[in-house]
Amino acid sequence: MTTPDLRLPIRPELAGEVPYGAPQIDVPVQLNVNENPYGPTPEIVADIAAAVAEAAGGLNRYPDREFRDLRDELAQFLAFESDVSGLTVENIWAANGSNEVMLHLFQAFGGPGRTALTFAPSYSMYPEYARDTLTQFATRPRREDFTIDLEQARAAIAELQPALVLLTSPNNPTGTALELQTIIEILAAAAEVPEGCVVVVDEAYAEFRRAQTPSALQLLASSPNLVVTRTMSKAFALAGARLGYLAASSEIVDALRVVRLPYHLSAVTQAVARTALRHSSELLASVAQLRAERDATVAWLQERGLEIAASDANFVYFGKFPARHEVWQGLLDRGVLIRETGPDGWLRVSIGTPDEMSAFKRALVEVLEA
């Protein structure tokens, strides 16, 4: 029910805006939001249920607001997964999905009179974090192959003097990973900003990267202005749990502790995440299969003469289509939902089960022949 004469003092920059979100359409094959199609096993579900039941017995009390046990276990996981040493609980932060982690970074280091810089196309939520924190948002275009032009990046940092530089690797929506040397060069340029500049490497899809693709975690020990963000939504198949996290210097983590809301991670979220970490090997077992399915999808699309962006993620960016919306709609009409995002002409398909990918391929052939 609305009141016709109601006047709201909404912020001018929010007037006319609509909530962010990919289309939620009930179709047989949903390949549009980069979810892991392989959910937890019944044994893991039972273990999570037991952990939640135990946490439920204390829901009359506030949760551990520092969640040090979870942070310690995340540090151990990262040290093992990426073969990095020296990570402790003081270097880890977590929140309700990597979206809230990123918002904390903008709240701590952005704000009026400050600028965040990224390289487009990239994650479509970045400008919304900037808008919500009154941070100026600037972009520079990527090359045609979706890599970053280092000369242009250095010039942009020198010109804009940003407080935040956002590097997405593997990139969303393209899947493109950054070379370690590119990150090193940008870190060096950011270190020249007199007021300080935090470089954030968003590695939401890092577990899916190819064997030769490094993680920016390797640079943490020598880069005090570096933040590496991760999530349990993708490879861990826990999109519904909402747990994102980052690794950084203890000074950066302490700054985020200032801006977080009190008790922002519920006792239930902490219990689910800690249980998932105990089962990390089982939950990540599907990653190799999804990598293989991704590479097979890339080869199949290339055989049909389509252009492909090199992917280190659990999705493939492909095109180019003179009328991509017609292709997207044609797939949807055949029960297959993918994502229409980024530069015109391109589409993104998440990697699903073999049956889901077969349905996608059949539908795409029909659409292109039509």
Mean pLDDT value across residues 342-370: 97
Paired with 230 in beta bridges are: 245
Confidence of residue 296 (pLDDT cuts 50, 70, 90): very high
Helix or strand run (H / E) with residue 187: helix 180-190
At residue 247, the 3 state secondary structure works out as strand
What percent of the chain is modeled with pLDDT above 70? Answer: 99
Q: What is the DSSP string of 62-114?
A: ---TT-HHHHHHHHHHHHHHHT-----GGGEEEESHHHHHHHHHHHHH--TT-
Mean pLDDT of the chain: 96
Task: Measure the CA angle with vertex 365, ends 362 and 370; round to 5°.
Answer: 125
Is 80 exceeded by the pLDDT of residue 149?
yes
Q: Which CATH class is domain 45-278?
A: alpha beta
pLDDT at 2: 65
Q: What is the DSSP string of 130-180?
A: HHHTT-EEEEEE--TTS---HHHHHHHHHHH--SEEEEESS-TTT-PPPPH
Strands 244-248 and 29-30: unpaired
Between these two residues, 219 and 16, which has the higher pLDDT value? 219
Distances (CA, A) of 354 to 82, 234, 264, 290: 28, 18, 38, 9
Task: Record the tokens describing residue 200, joined without a space.
Answer: 């954030």
pTM: 0.96
Structure confidence by residue, pLDDT tens digits, 206-215: 999 998 899 9
Q: Which CATH class is domain 22-40+285-369?
A: alpha beta
Q: How many CB atoms lie within 10 A of CB 316?
A: 26
CA-to-CA distance for 326 and 333, rounded, in angstroms?
10
Sorted by sequence, the CB contacts under 8 Å of residue 24 that are 6+ apart come out as none
pLDDT at 115: 98
**End-to-end Cα distance, the chain:** 45
pLDDT at 255: 98
Strands 198-202 and 226-231: parallel
Structure confidence by residue, pLDDT tens digits, 309-351: 999 999 999 999 999 999 999 999 999 999 999 999 999 999 9
Q: How many CB atoms lie within 10 A of CB 196?
A: 11
CA-to-CA distance for 285 and 352, rounded, in angstroms?
15
Strands laid side by side in the 136-141 sheet: 92-95, 244-248, 226-231, 198-202, 164-168, 115-120, 136-141
Q: So where are the chain's domains? A: 22-40+285-369, 45-278
CA-to-CA distance for 143 and 126, rounded, in angstroms?
19
Task: Record the tokens describing residue 150, joined without a space.
Answer: 């280092």
